[in-house]
Chains A and B, each alone.
Chain A
Amino acid sequence: MQNDLPQIDNSSPNSDELEVSLFGPGVGECIVAHLGDNQWMVIDSCKNPKTKNPAALDYLKEIGVKLDAVSVIVISHWHTDHIRGAADLVAACPNAQVVYSAALLKEEFLTLVDAYSISASVVGCESAGLSEMRSIVQCLDDRNEDDEGYAKANMKPALADTIIHNYKCDEFHTQVWALSPSSTSFNEALQEFESLIPSEGDQRKVISCPSENINSVAIWIEMGEYSVLLGADLEETKNPNTGWSVIVDSKVRPKEQANIFKIPHHGSSTGHSQDVWEQMTCDNTIALCTTFNNSHLPKAEDVERIKEYTENLYCTTISKSKLPKRESSVERTLKEVTKTRRVIGGAVGQLQVRIKQDGTCRVCAKPPALQL
């Protein structure tokens, strides 16, 4: 492990400079990307535990970018670790097109969101994922109330092989693609959401996120000669109609190889696809990863496996967060009563990759981010 990466550049990038910044607080993930000419994209959201703000908003403020420069916000899926603070993000960026995994604004999922939001007042707590989605839906509903044409102009469901952003100028051309979910994944997601809707007489509870991530939106960015593959939490299902298989086999997707690869699903073996590494990334691609401390991802064997494909592997955080100190009687009791205990989330590490059009590339880190 190497901690000697240069510090984050706190100035905004040049107009023709591609930037991908990955944020991770141990449990959580957010990507901020510069698409050229001060156009910004934010994918997913996590919160800075110190400021309580979305990490993306803190970063953009730090480098002097106004929030009306955010052109696209992507909600890749509704899992808690990818969506904390997303409602604040959507509310703060009124000019942004909101791109979302297509199933998330269909009746089945909206029923789930509403049913559990009513239940939350009775239960006293709720899934952060559903809570954020409820706030996002409210914000979008209010905007549609003010402007009937808002949805058609500013909201876009993400499905495989769709272009979600397209910008051309004399110096470069930027395209952003949604590579997933496939139509099969979309339909399976709808069925899954339908199955989670409570029935009369069911015991109220806090909803658990389903474990498999087949509905997650993977993103491809092309800016000039350079490409980026952002894998979200998409998993390899071995089903040719879902997951990474259907992306690799797509005849429509861009055929370049990515210079930067945000490794899917925190480096887990379920997110790994050999075909993706071999066909969609260049040799020694810059590989970025966030941890998921709840499942100890990436595991040591995951890191070993990834390093067979690239020497340039970076992670937003690796160390465990400190437990808050409580009075001695409480600490003694906790030692007696708990088998394991860990903080969910901690200090936000950041990896900042900037590539100029002449090919100059720089990887900077804000601790606890480091090179593995």
Chain B
Amino acid sequence: MDTAVKTTIEEGTGSAPLRLLFGADRSPLNQKVHGSKEARHTNTRELSKYAPTSVLYKAEDRVTGSFQLLQSWAGNVISIGSDSFVAVVHDRTNPNNPDEEVTLDIKEVTSDDLPLLAEGAVFYWSIGYADFPGRPRLRISEIRFRRLPSWSQKEIDSSKEKAKRLAKRFATD
């Protein structure tokens, strides 16, 4: 039984975000290249439809590469439109740079992260080069939303208690 992990590269029109997942285990590599509309993970039987552009790797042939980070931001979403969102980004590479407000296409967000796209949501945005042996260098822009722990009742109650004490202390009448 073929348990190969494969990458499908589809041709298309329009630009799409470039995103690479480095499979530490057998998780599929899902690669989009500039010019492709979308990438799909396909099974072995469909493989022949896309020959000769599809590439087959055996499960034990892990593709490992390196990522050279050029620029990194931490951002938070301030508004969401029909096809774009606005965020304030803080420069993590050079914190002396001023904050910027950017408008990004919602297509820059992966399908995994789309449910996390909300006002106030926090993300990391990285730009860099990905190098794989025997492959051309890839320039990558990646946005990943943070999966943060939810509020606990204990935390909220503690804040309410502290607020009560402070409000009493600050009373001027």
Contact = CB atoms under 8 A, between A and B. Distances in A.
Residue among B103, B116, B162 with max Cβ neighbours from chain A (10 Å):
B162
B169 A204 contact: no
B127 A333 contact: yes
A345 interface: yes
B131 interface: no
Contact of B150 (A118, A155, A202, A342): A202
A348 to B, nearest CB: 12
Contact of A338 (B104, B148, B156): B104
Contact of B76 (A107, A125, A342): A125
Q: Is the interface of B mostly helix, strand, loop or mixed?
A: mixed
Nearest to A344: B99
Contacts of B164: 107
Among B15, B78, B127, B151, the one with the most A-chain Cβ atoms within 10 Å of its Cβ is: B151
Contacts of A330: 70-71, 127
Nearest to A332: B139
Given A326-B71, A330-B70, A155 B100 contact: no
Interface string B38-55: 000000000000000000
Contact-residue size bin, chain B (C-beta under 8 Å from the other chain): 35 or more
Interface stretch (A68-76, A109-117, A234-242): A109-117
Nearest to B78: A208
Interface string A79-95: 00000000000000000
Interface in B125-173: 127, 129, 139, 141, 146, 148-153, 155-156, 158-160, 162-164, 166-167, 169-172
Given A125-B76, A200-B150, A206-B122, A340 B102 contact: yes
B29 interface: no
B88 A118 contact: no
Interface in A185-207: 197-207
Given A114-B159, A157-B172, A323 B70 contact: no
A113 B119 CA distance: 18
A127 to B, nearest CB: 8
A122 to B, nearest CB: 6
Contacts of B153: 200
Contacts of B171: 151
A326 B15 CA distance: 23
Given A330-B127, A333-B139, A151 B156 contact: no
7 contacts: A111-B159, A125-B74, A151-B169, A324-B97, A329-B127, A336-B141, A338-B102
Interface of A: 49, 105-108, 110-115, 118-119, 122-125, 137, 140-141, 144, 151-152, 155-157, 197-208, 294, 321, 323-324, 326-327, 329-330, 332-334, 336-346
